[in-house]
Chains A and B, each alone.
Chain A
Amino acid sequence: MRVRPPLMEVVMKKDCEASVRAVPGAAVIELTGEVDGGAAGVLTAAYERAIADGDPGTVVLDFAHVDYINSTGIALIVSVLARARSQRRKVVASGLSEHYREIFDITRLSDFIELFGDLDAAVSQLQAQ
């Protein structure tokens, strides 16, 4: 008989963390962990830090180290995008897995957020503009 380890031990919640840095013309928010309802404070604070330094025209959301986004996380991203649009800032995203790219397509987020395969590609493109 197959012995299954207790799921509580193998499914550990990874709280969302964010680091913010400036690149020419943009601010980069690198997210780690899970983008769900628990990420609200982290994402809001990261966005505020991102725009506080140098008034960037573009905010890059990097999801390369995000392993889970749920519907509440999508709503948080919508809120960040709404706020950025009201401030005439552009939002781009990088590092999404194929699955989450599909979700960005289905929700039409990709109509408003340009998607890049990775952060280097996003930053290179922004610096070339």
Chain B
Amino acid sequence: MTSVAHPAGRRLDAFAVASEPGNERMALARVAEAVAGHGLPAARLERLKTAVAEATMNAIEHGNQGRAEIPVDLEVIEDGDDIVVTISDLGGSRAPAGPAEEPDLLAKLEGQQRARGWGLFLIRNMVDGMDVTTDGPRHTVRLTMRTGDAGAPAADGGGHEEGL
């Protein structure tokens, strides 16, 4: 697996899942296991798990187009007071989907937006930081969660909404 550039930190785990529907559950369970005992309070761990699951689902469905033979690579790093999780697929060369439409529940209820489209919104609101990079075909989402109670959700990520 190719490592994503990251600041010096301690790798807690690195693994890959096949690009098959449902494997995001495996990814979130393994990330949860990797970060256990590293200072994330339970509520913030739940947030990280949701963000990891959504980013992995995006990588499976939209990055790797559900092609099981192409893995989604995940890396879990402890970097000072941060837990950093990177999720990489090989869909970087795909056409960008354009600016994400901010989900508006009332618009969805009135049929002006589709019911889906919550994935990126959830990720951004669950973690303290989200960055998206593309290096050739490699598309990487980097999620940062501060340990302890000090972290606060921040919608600071770029990227594209991908049909969730």
Contact = CB atoms under 8 A, between A and B. Distances in A.
Interface stretch (A23-31, A44-52, A66-74): A66-74
B109 A71 contact: no
A78 interface: yes
Contacts of B114: 75
A127 interface: no
Given A71-B122, A71-B164, A107 B103 contact: yes
Contacts of A34: 25
B12 to A, nearest CB: 13
Contacts of A98: 43, 46
Given A13-B25, A71-B116, A72-B164, A81 B109 contact: yes
Contacts of A85: 109
A109 to B, nearest CB: 7
Given A10-B29, A82-B109, A103 B50 contact: yes
A8 interface: yes
B29 A112 contact: no
Given A11-B26, A78-B105, A78-B108, A70 B53 contact: yes
Q: Give the interface size bracket for A toward B.
A: 20 to 34
A88 interface: no
B21 interface: yes
B30 interface: yes
B54 interface: yes
A8 B50 contact: no
A70 B125 CA distance: 14
Contacts of B103: 107
A56 interface: no
How would you classify the secondary structure of chain B's contact residues: helix, strand, loop or mixed? helix
Contact of B116 (A11, A72, A106): A72
B118 A71 contact: yes
A2 to B, nearest CB: 10
A111 to B, nearest CB: 7
B24 interface: yes
Closest 3 CB pairs of A and B: A99-B46, A71-B118, A71-B119
Given A11-B25, A38-B22, 5 more contacts: A70-B50, A70-B54, A75-B114, A75-B164, A106-B125
Interface of B: 21-22, 24-26, 29-30, 33, 43, 46-47, 50, 53-54, 57, 103, 105-106, 108-111, 114-119, 121-122, 125, 164
22 contacts: A7-B26, A7-B30, A8-B26, A10-B29, A37-B21, A70-B50, A71-B57, A71-B118, A71-B119, A71-B121, A71-B164, A74-B118, A75-B118, A79-B115, A82-B108, A82-B111, A82-B115, A85-B109, A99-B46, A102-B43, A106-B122, A107-B118
